[in-house]
Chains A and B, each alone.
Chain A
Amino acid sequence: MRDSQKLRLFLLVGLAVVALLLVVFGPAVLGRFSLNVLTRSMIYAMLALTVDLLWGYTGILTFGQAAFFGVGAYATAMVLMHIGASPSLLLLAFVAAIIVPVVLGLIVGWLSFYHGSTPLYATVISLVVPIVMTQIVFSGGVWTGSSSGLVGYDVLPLGLTGFFRLTGFCLLVLAVLAIVFVRSDAGRLLVAIRDNEARVAYLGINPARVKILLTATLAGVAGLAGFLYANASGVVAPENTGFVFGTEIVVWTALGGRGTIIGPVLGAIGIDYLSASLSGDLPFLWQLVIGGLFVVMIIVLPGGLASLVTRHFPRGKGQQSLKAMPTTADANGTDRREDVFVSIENLGKSYGSLAVLKGINLDIRPGELVSIVGPNGAGKTTMMRCLSDGTEPIEGTVTINGHNIAGLAPEGVVSLGVGRKFQVASIFDTMTVAECLRMARLRHVTPSFTRSETEIALPGPAAEILQLTGIAEIMDRPVSLLSHGQRQALELAMVVALEPKLILLDEPTAGLTKAERTTIGTVLKTLTAKLGFAAILVEHDLDFVRDISSRIVVLHHGKLVLDGTVEDVIHSEIVRTIYSGGAHV
């Protein structure tokens, strides 16, 4: 493990040095044509990088980077053309080329990402933005030069080789920053959002906000590329900001290899350089080949050319060690056990004319383990949803820790102290155990943007779950290799690592072995009885429920028919009738 990591580091540093040498000494060996084209190609490579961070890492397919690039380029050209090109105005152009796209990026981000938005919708918006921008350029008259663009303004006095070195340097810095970032703990959050956005929200992080920030930042980077382009080429045209250009960037990224940093960079440079060299002889044929290659690549090799290389370098992760944080006994405070933590008043929920829940009243205090039982279709999972997502339209009120949760998105409810474990384990499928757990801690531990920590500190109970189930031994294993029971336990540990005051569990023992069940049962008992957590458990296994619950609630046809101690419920006539299938209460 250690060795492979060293090898990777060595290779990356070597690559960076080679790239630096190329940038510095390139002008000595390359001809005029190559310098010109490569300068442009490297600017395009910066754009490919931004598309890759959005699409390859975060899963947002975007055609919109062309618009930000175009806005940056036009902002530069318009300042230089209409106001002037003195050093201070060049600085103004530089600032405008970044600020304007960032502001636009914030607006686009706000439009694209909100609780409940779909990936397709973000793509739709990313399609509209460049189209609108192009039309604005067309209707801009003298200001934007309309369809002929702007040309003949003064630019940075750098010359051919100067621009080559400047763009090369910028690209190199950007690539290194990107590589460091995506490997850092903060960067892994992007992959977490791509893998499982719902889980990110239920870990208390607002995925929409992360995406908006990312969009705005990368819009700024695209604007920087636009500034370089406007200076190096001395001309800006409506095509630079269009939707078709936006798709070209995606093509370079896909062919180079999404989800890697070096792939898209080399893809953009290689394809653009070859296009320029070959297009004189066989212009349409070359486009045809690229298009065909793109289709084939998407279907058979979605990882792009880079995946041919990376499959020989499995992700070498440093050995991750687990550290249990000292548990302050009864962190949630025994003295407050009498305070109601969750109060459900007259809760009702309908889908159209179908009422799933009707008039539910329930109070839950710290230290209680309340099991909800009832036949299929009784409304148990719906109730869990109403408790954890305030955006669900409901009747009545749900008050958690003194706050009405109406209108709160899942991440807001989490911040009130609620952790939810889903029926089917909801974890991050392309990550390792340790990475998943780290995501669960992001709400408490500000992640590093530059480093990947090797030690992970978890609250005592979470660490205990991992140790009892043996997952503590396999912290570096990808979660795709975990068994069903291990996945369930890992998700439970992630939820507990949030340090919630209330845990919602939807059939945590479904499909587990007897031994695994007992372990989970013991953990839940400790969490509630000893540590003062409150827990709501939806469960079918009545034996399990009897062993661990402090209180049992029976739901039937959406109504609460019984609420009492284990003894009350087990011996109740109603429960027996419901489960033998007769009663219509």
Chain B
Amino acid sequence: MTLLLDIISTAAILFIVAAGLLAIFGVLKIINFAHGAWLTVGAYCAVVTTELGLNPWFALPLAFILGALLGGLTERFIVRPLYRRPLDAILATWGLGIVIGQLITLWFGRDVHFTTALMQGTVDVLGTSYSFYRLFAVLAALAIGLGFAFLLDGTRLGLSAQAVIMNEALARALGIDTEKVRLATFMAGAGLAALAGVLLAPMTSVDPNMGVPWLTGAFMLVMVAGTSFGALAVACLLFGAAQVVVSTFLSPILGGITVAVLCAITLRIRPKWFARA
């Protein structure tokens, strides 16, 4: 039972982290390597609210707004000139990640920080007591997934975004302001990354380089999932399950690379498997 709950909550956490990256990749066709840095920014928002003694929930909106603002600036000044050079965009956003990481280090130092949990205690699930917070993460993942589904299908912006995903040239010809769609998507993606950082903070320790391992994992998942949130959810569940199983029964160190290795193999053998899901 614990194993099952572990699998579900691990998948949920992977989904939360990867969602922002997927949104940006789907619309902009660009891999945002600053994703890890924004995650870190979000986690430090949680640190700041803790240090100021504010209500820890306050970190959520703070992180989203800060992430979206930074994302907006990044889109305008770094990503926009590089739309035609996707590999260079990876590098430039990675460079930005270095800059943000060093700024955080200059401000907060290299030390590891801890934050107060948003909620504590355990809860009984069918006879197994389980961390309440990890279950909350599952709810958060569901909320994010459903939120995106609603945004894409229920709003004008989402419809435009879908049009851009499918055929950008045509969308532009039909009078959709694709630049605005890109900007909005990038801001949402960055905000989401920061939000993920806040949610992650109580589960791990917070340090200036905490984003890097999450970035690589999320990147692999997004590559496998393509541009669909449904596929991402499936991929997170499958590979998350594999990770938990390997960590539990073999070794936690091998568990850490399970997602990356499985994703690489999946891409080599059946690149389109998940995209169809």
Query: Is A103 an interface residue, CB under 8 A from the partner?
Result: no
Task: Decide if A124 touches B219 in the complex (CB within 8 Å).
Answer: yes
A124 touches B102 (CB 8 A): no
- Which residue of chain A lies nearest to B94 when distances are taken between CB atoms in the complex? A247
Taking CB atoms, residues of chain A closer than 8 Å to B271 are 121
Query: Do B92 and A295 touch across chains, with their CB atoms under 8 A apart?
Result: yes
Contact of A294 among B86, B95, B103, B223 (CB under 8 A): B95
| Interface residue stretch chosen among A282-290, A360-368, A389-397 | A282-290
Q: Is the CB of A298 within 8 A of B253?
A: no
User: What string of 1s and 0s marks CB contacts (under 8 Å) between A112-143 and chain B?
Assistant: 00100001110111011001100100110000
- B88 close to chain A: CB less than 8 A: yes
Instruction: Tell whether A127 pairs with B216 under 8 Å between CB atoms, given A139-B254, A291-B102.
Output: yes
Q: Is the CB of B95 within 8 A of A292?
A: yes
Q: How far is the CA of A254 from the CA of B99 in the complex (A)?
A: 16
CB contacts (< 8 Å) of B81 on chain A: these are: 299
Interface residue? A482 (CB, 8 A): no
| Cβ-defined contact, A61 with B91, below 8 A | yes
Q: Is B171 at the interface (CB under 8 A from chain A)?
A: no
Chain A 348-365 per-residue mask, 1 if CB under 8 angstroms from chain B, else 0: 000000000000000000
A244, CB-defined interface residue at 8 Å = yes
A177 interfacial contact with B, CB 8 Å: no
CB distance from B71 to the nearest CB of A (A): 15
Interface residue tally on A, bucketed by range: 20 to 34
CB-CB under 8 A from B85, the residues of chain A are 302
CB contact between B267 and one of A61, A124, A139 (< 8 Å): that residue: A124
Which A residues touch B263, using CB under 8 A? 124, 128
Number of residue pairs A-B, CB distance < 8 angstroms: 98
| Bound form: Cα–Cα A254–B89 in Å | 13
Evaluate whether A288 and B260 lie within 8 angstroms (CB atoms) in the complex, with A138-B253, A294-B91, A295-B92 already known.
no
Given contacts A247-B94, A250-B91, A299-B78, contact A111 B268 (CB under 8 A): yes
Name A248's closest neighbour in chain B (CB-CB): B98
Q: How far is the CA of A121 from the CA of B31 in the complex (A)?
A: 12
| A244–B36 CA distance with the chains assembled, in angstroms | 13
A445-466 contact mask (Cβ, 8 Å, vs B): 1 or 0? 0000000000000000000000
CB <8 Å contact, B216 and A131: yes
Q: Write out the residue numbers on chain A whose beta carbons fall within 8 Å of the beta carbon of B86.
A: 120
Nearest CB in chain A to that of B107: its residue: A284
On whether A299 and B82 interact (CB within 8 A), knowing A120-B31, A121-B267, A288-B103, the answer reads yes
Q: B220-277: which have CB < 8 Å to A?
A: 220, 223, 251, 253-254, 256-257, 260-261, 263-264, 267-268, 271
Residue A266 interfacial (CB < 8 Å): no
* Closest CB in chain B relative to A431 CB, distance in Å: 20
The answer to whether A284 touches B102, judged by C-beta atoms less than 8 angstroms apart, is yes
Asked if B205 CB lies within 8 Å of chain A CBs, one says no
**A252 located at the interface, meaning its Cβ lies under 8 Å from any Cβ of chain B in the complex:** no
Complex alpha-carbon distance, A244 and B96, angstroms = 14
The answer to whether B117 has its CB under 8 Å from any CB of chain A is no
- Are B90 and A61 in contact (CB-based, < 8 A)? yes
A265 at the interface (CB under 8 A from B): no
CB contacts (< 8 Å) of A244 on chain B: these are 212
CB <8 Å contact, A132 and B267: no
Q: How far is the CB of B248 from chain A (nearest CB, A)?
A: 16
The answer to whether B99 touches A128, judged by C-beta atoms less than 8 angstroms apart, is no
Interface of B is mostly: helix
A124-B220, A128-B264 given; A135·B91 CB < 8 A: no
A243 within 8 A of B: yes
CA distance A138 to B96 in the complex (A): 29
**Contact in complex: B98, A139 (CB < 8 Å):** no
Given contacts A291-B98, A295-B78, contact A128 B88 (CB under 8 A): no
Q: Which residue of B lies closest to A286 (CB)?
A: B102
Q: Are B264 and A111 in touch, CB under 8 angstroms?
A: yes
Q: Are B257 and A132 in contact (CB under 8 A)?
A: yes
Q: Which residues of A sit under 8 angstroms from B105, Cβ to Cβ?
A: 284
Contacts of B94 in A (CB 8 A): 247
Quick check: A128 and B220 within 8 Å, CB to CB?
yes
Q: What chain B residues lie within 8 Å of A111 (beta carbons)?
A: 264, 268
Does the CB pair B254–A298 fall under 8 Å? Answer: no
Q: Which of B103, B220, B251, B267 has the most CB of A within 10 A?
A: B267
Closest to A294 in B: B95
Expressed in whole angstroms, the Cα–Cα distance for A299 and B92 within the complex equals: 7
A61 to B268 alpha-carbon distance, docked (Å): 18
Q: Are A288 and B212 touching (Cβ within 8 A)?
A: no
Q: Among the listed A132, A138, A251, which residue makes an inter-chain contact with B95, where contact means beta carbons less than 8 Å apart? A: A251
- A112: nearest residue on chain B (CB-CB)? B268
Q: Which residues of B contact A128 (CB under 8 A)?
A: 220, 257, 260-261, 263-264
Contacts of A254 in B (CB 8 A): 91
Q: Which residues of A contact B268 (CB under 8 A)?
A: 111, 114, 121
Q: Which residues of B contact A127 (CB under 8 A)?
A: 216, 219-220, 260
Q: How far is the CA of A294 from the CA of B264 in the complex (A)?
A: 28
Interface pair A123/B260, CB less than 8 Å apart: no
Interface string of B111-152 (1 = CB under 8 A from A): 000000000000000000000000000000000000000000
Q: Are A120 and B253 in contact (CB under 8 A)?
A: no
Within 8 Å of chain A (Cβ to Cβ): is B87?
yes
- The answer to whether A123 and B102 have CB atoms under 8 Å apart is no
CB distance from B90 to the nearest CB of A (A): 7
Q: Is B174 an interface residue (CB 8 A)?
A: no
Residue in A61, A119, A120, A135 whose CB lies within 8 Å of B254:
A135
A 51-75 binary contact with B (CB < 8 Å = 1; else 0): 0000000000100000000000000
The docked-state distance in angstroms from the alpha carbon of A138 to that of B256 is: 11
CA distance A291 to B267 in the complex (A): 31
Bound Cα distance from A61 to B86, whole angstroms: 11
CB distance from A213 to the nearest CB of B (A): 19
Are A287 and B98 within 8 A (Cβ)? yes
Q: Which residues of A contact B102 (CB under 8 A)?
A: 284-285, 287-288, 291
Q: Report whether B257 and A135 are in contact in the complex, using a CB–CB cutoff of 8 Å.
A: yes
Known: A121-B267, A244-B212, A299-B81. 8 other contacts (CB 8 A): A111-B264, A127-B219, A128-B257, A288-B102, A291-B101, A292-B95, A294-B91, A299-B88
Which B residues contact A (CB, under 8 angstroms)? 31, 78, 81-82, 85-88, 90-92, 94-99, 101-103, 105-106, 212, 216, 219-220, 223, 251, 253-254, 256-257, 260-261, 263-264, 267-268, 271
- 16 residue pairs bridging A and B, Cβ less than 8 Å apart: A121-B268, A124-B219, A125-B264, A127-B220, A135-B254, A135-B256, A138-B253, A288-B103, A288-B106, A291-B101, A294-B91, A294-B95, A294-B98, A298-B88, A299-B88, A299-B92
The 5 closest A-B pairs by CB, nearest first: A291-B98, A294-B95, A295-B95, A288-B102, A291-B99
